[in-house]
Chains A and B, each alone.
Chain A
């Protein structure tokens, strides 16, 4: 079946630094990538939607200059958390899909801790 590889699985960074999270679709072409953030004991909140080759569409309240999303190819999308602060500590999950298909394939998630 469809697989999305997400790296790193865990990362600890210092406040003020940037962190890049990668999601790769291994056996299908991801025309759309969704990025979610999940705080402890809460639901998955959509941060942004990106289509291959286009600028990402951010949800209300999500700072596009802080959370940089790149979807340059049909198999790779990245989320960069810039100038990270402790409040950015969360579980980040990507979800890939293909146009014309109802399925959503989730990455394994990245636990970000900002100290």
Chain B
């Protein structure tokens, strides 16, 4: 089955700086890669996703890049703000709703004011 590794497990950055979180996956058939932000005791919130036919996607301060050959994808957050502090999870699936989503181990991001 799919195995998703995520690094780093914790990340502290100064407010205004950029944060990068990286994930690798094992299943070459995976073609959908979402990123979630989770606050304590809350449901995961989708912040951005990318499909395998696209190499990069950007939404304001958040961007995701995908390298299918190397089987890795990354989350980039620019101009970080205190409200970006949370746990971030990457995930991978073979796409379409009936395929299970495998999560990475999570990154606790702390923005230092």
Contacts and interface: CB of A to CB of B under 8 A. Distances in A.
Interface residues of B, number: 21
Nearest to A9: B41
Given A43-B104, A43-B106, A102-B49, A107 B97 contact: no
A43 B89 contact: yes
A46 B41 CA distance: 17
A89 interface: no
B43 A111 contact: no
Contact of A109 (B34, B41, B97, B103): B41
A103 B102 CA distance: 14
Given A42-B106, A109-B41, A109-B43, A100 B101 contact: no
Chain B interface mostly? loop
Interface stretch (A13-21, A65-73, A80-88, A90-98): A90-98
Nearest to B9: A41
Interface residues of A, number: 26
Contacts, number: 58
A99 B42 contact: no
B81 interface: no
B44 interface: yes
B57 interface: no
B96 A102 contact: yes
B98 A51 contact: yes
A106 B43 contact: yes
Interface of A: 31-32, 34, 42-46, 49, 51, 91, 93, 95, 97-104, 106-109, 111
Interface of B: 32, 34, 41-44, 46, 49, 51, 89, 95-98, 100-106
Given A42-B105, A99-B96, A102-B97, 9 more contacts: A32-B97, A43-B106, A44-B103, A46-B101, A97-B97, A101-B96, A104-B101, A106-B43, A108-B43
